[in-house]
Every structure is written in C-alpha cells, then in structure tokens.
Structure 1
Amino acid sequence: MAGKAPEDRAERGKRLALTRSNARLAAVQALYQWEATGTRAESIIKEFADHRLGAVVDEIALPPADLKLFTTVVLGAAANVAELDDMIAAVLTEDWTVERLEATLRAILRCGAFELAHREDVPPRVVIAEYVGVCDAFFGAKETGLVNGILDQLARQLRPAEMRAGGPANH
C-alpha cells in the first residue's frame, strides 16, 4: 500500500488543480452574466452552485469546480470592480479603455486582476497561466496575448518580488 500513496497524492493533486481551473472558468462566466444582467453576484453564485457546477445538464456532465474559489473570485471581482478596472486601465494603451474591451475579456481580466491583487496565497504566475488558459477557450492568439500581457504587467506591479523569483506554477 505504501507504494500507492505517491500516485494517490499525485492523482488527488491533479483533480484539485482541475477543479480550481474549472472554478476560474465558471467565475469568468458568472462575472460575465453579472455584468450583462445586473443580477446580484450572490444570486448568480447560487444558480451556478445549484445548476451548473458538477451538475448534469441535457445529459452532459458539467465539470466539478472548487466552490470556495469560485465564490471568492466572483464576489471579490464584483465587489472590487471599480478598483480592478482602474488597475486594468492603467496598463492599457492611452487610446484603449476597459469599456472598449469585449465583455468576456473584461470578465477574464477582472477575475485575474482580483486574484493578483487579493489572493496572495496563489502565485502570480499561476494566476496568469490559468486566465490565459480561460481566454484561450474563448478567443484566439491575439486576445490570449493581450490577456497574458495585461496580467503579466499587473503581476509585476502588484507582486514584483514573486515575479522576479519565478518558480513553478503549480497552484
């Protein structure tokens, strides 16, 4: 049995990472819905928790997600949207505004900026990689590069020591 423990830990680690990635993807979708509908973030979180995260819809099993991370990101991004938009606007070119960004890109950047600014327990390179991956699910190389560049600049401003230190992205 002792020989199985590392494999079991590794498998649990992979599943945990996947549920975190799914939580971030769902958080972007929820934040998009929050902006588009004006519905309270708490109501959207309940809808996702009750009907989308890990549920079966039209005979399709939706992936499980880390509900705590999902809730933290959605509530945090919605509550701090003005601060996050200011941070994002500060790294955009002068002729480009946050409002001009496509709504899904705004949601991705807001979630990523929230984690960079308020989740010091998550390494910045992990945040960047996760939201670049989310962007890649919706967009092509141009938008993915934009998200990577903006989040990288924010990470260098908000967490410079961690960005200089580098290290593996494994959270």
Structure 2
Amino acid sequence: MSGRPDKRALSGAARIYAVQGLFQMEAADQSAERVGKEFRNWRIATEYDEGTTPEADEVLFAAILDDAVTWQARIDQMIDRALVAKWPIARLDPVLRAVFRAAGAELVGGRTPPRVVISEYVSVADAFFPEGREARFVNAVLDHMAREARPEAF
C-alpha cells in the first residue's frame, strides 16, 4: 500500500480545485493559465502549518479549466436553458456558476460518462453547500445539461 489516494479521490479533489479555480478566474478576472499555475504551485498537495492540502489528478484539473474556457459560451447557454426563465445565469451564486461550468466542461469534453459527472458534481455541491438544498438544484440542472450535451447516454 503506497498511502497515495485512489483515483476517485484524486478526481474528486481535481473537481473541487477546478470549481475553486473557475470561481477565482471570474472573481479576480484571471486567466486559466495563471490560475492553473497558482493551483499547481501553491494549492494542490501543499504543506501548511495546519496540514497538507489534498493531492489531485492535475491532468483532470487542467482539462476542466481549459475546456471550461474553450467551451464557455456553449456551456453557459446550456446552463441558461436548464434554468427557469426568470433566473438567468447572472443571478446564480458564483460558486454554483463555477460548479455548472466545471461540470459542463466535462460533459462537453466527453471524457466522463454523464451520470458520473452528475453524481460527482452533486458531491462537490455538498462540499460547498452542506445544507443540501443546492445539491438537489445542482442535480436537476446537471441532468438537463447532460441530456442536452450527451443525449445518447440516456
């Protein structure tokens, strides 16, 4: 046993870091390149006085950031169509917007099965919003987005 986290834990950490990175990109108006470099150098598997931050699948992290930027217009349109008419994407909590963009990047990128994307990002939403209401909302929106992006999987 190596003590290294399993693939699922590494992927889960990459998704959480990707949501944080997308949030930072929007809030601080920073590029994916700058945010990716900062996370790789200072956040992922970094030791602090309080402990060490989790390791992550850095390839998945980078792919989510890159795909979210490359496909942002398409992803944002999918998010808009999944929301009710009186709740445009601009009204979303910025963390939820980052969750939807990260998940959308995986859905559009096509590397991860849609049902896995939904399940994983519901868990990510739970990490950011432990009260639970947002996780149900994320599940509903991502189900709509997944059916649009990858209808053959359903």
Q: TM-score, normalised to structure 2's length? A: 0.93
Query: 1:31 corresponds to which letter in structure 2?
Result: L
Displaced runs of 4 or more, over 4 A: none
Partner of 1:132: 122
Q: CA deviation digits over 1:60-99, x for unaligned, max 9?
A: 1100000000000011112322221111001111111000
Q: Gaps spanning 5+ residues in structure 1: where?
A: 1-7, 164-171
Tell me how large the CA RMSD over aligned residues is.
1.6
Matched pairs, number:
152
Q: In the aligned structure 2, how far is the partner of 1:74 from the partner of 1:51?
A: 17
Max radius of gyration: which structure? 1
Partner of 1:103: 94
Partner of 1:68: 59
Q: In the aligned structure 2, how far is the partner of 1:113 from the partner of 1:40?
A: 18
Instruction: Report the Cα offset of residue 36 of structure 1.
Output: 0.3
Identity %: 40
Choose from 139, 144, 147 the match for 2:138: 147
Partner of 2:7: 16
Q: TM-score, normalised to structure 1's length? A: 0.84
Partner of 2:49: 58
Q: In the aligned structure 2, how far is the partner of 1:132 from the partner of 1:44?
A: 24
Partner of 2:107: 116
Query: 1:122 corresponds to which letter in structure 2?
Result: T
Q: Secondary structure at the match of 2:6?
A: helix
